[in-house]
Amino acid sequence: MKRKESLFTALSLVIITVVAVSCARPAVKNMIPPLYSLDLISTDKTVKVADVKGGRKPQFGGMETIDNETFKEALINTLEQARLFKEITTDKKADYELYVEIITQNMKTRASLAYTVLLYINYTLVKTDSNEEIWQRKIKSRYEATVEEAFSGATRMVRALEGSVKDNLSQLLQRLSKLPHLSDKK
């Protein structure tokens, strides 16, 4: 009888562990690109990050996706750490407004059990005082997470999403830092 109880307890622990691991969630800190590899120029301009559109909340048991709020948080943290702008805000007037729309987020699985996330995001920078669109780009990023990176399939899905967001934000920083408008003094 005790052996059946021990077996039941062990099996219960395995099931709880599998469920807990499969509920892995993306972490914003893992989406912020390393800044040491970027040649960024700071500006005295401010930017307001508008609400992100096009994101999707993940469905339990489905593909890992990024929602609007999580992407916006990763974007703001990235801009703050990059110090590309003098100030980043979400609620007050600034020199520029940055609009973001997540156009596509797809995940593919290969027979090798690798998960690949493809993100396609549209960024638009508007000069607030004239309402002039000064820059617009669609940035495509892709990241593949393999079994070597994470054994758990759920963790691989999360790593693929985090990596794709990180690459997309890195490309954004590189492109924004090269804008001549940002280096113009008021």
What is the C-alpha to C-alpha distance for residues 138 and 101, in angstroms, rounded to an integer? Answer: 9
* 113-137 tens-digit pLDDT: 888 999 999 999 999 999 999 999 9
What pTM, to 2 d.p., does this model score?
0.80
Judge whether residue 21 has pLDDT over 50: no
Q: Residue 108 sits in a domain of what CATH number?
A: 3.40.50.10610
Q: Is residue 168 part of a domain?
A: yes
Of the candidates 82, 102, 97, which has an alpha carbon nearest to the alpha carbon of residue 175? Answer: 82
pLDDT of residue 153: 74
Sole residue written with tokens 């407004």: 97
What backbone torsions phi and psi does residue 87 show, to the nearest 5 degrees?
Answer: -150, 145
pLDDT of residue 22: 43
> What 3-state class would DSSP assign to 123?
strand
pLDDT of residue 177: 87
Q: Is residue 23 part of a domain?
A: no
What is the C-alpha to C-alpha distance for residues 117 and 167, in angstroms, rounded to an integer? Answer: 11
Q: Is residue 115 part of a domain?
A: yes
* 79-99 tens-digit pLDDT: 999 988 999 999 999 999 999
Q: Is residue 6 part of a domain?
A: no
Mean residue pLDDT of the chain comes to 83
Q: Is residue 72 part of a domain?
A: yes
**Greatest extent of the chain over all pairs of C-alpha atoms, in Å:** 81
Q: Is residue 150 part of a domain?
A: yes
Q: How many residues are present in the chain? A: 186
Domain range enclosing 148: 31-183
Q: Is residue 141 part of a domain?
A: yes
Judge whether residue 16 has pLDDT over 50: no
Q: Could you give the number of structural domains in the chain?
A: 1
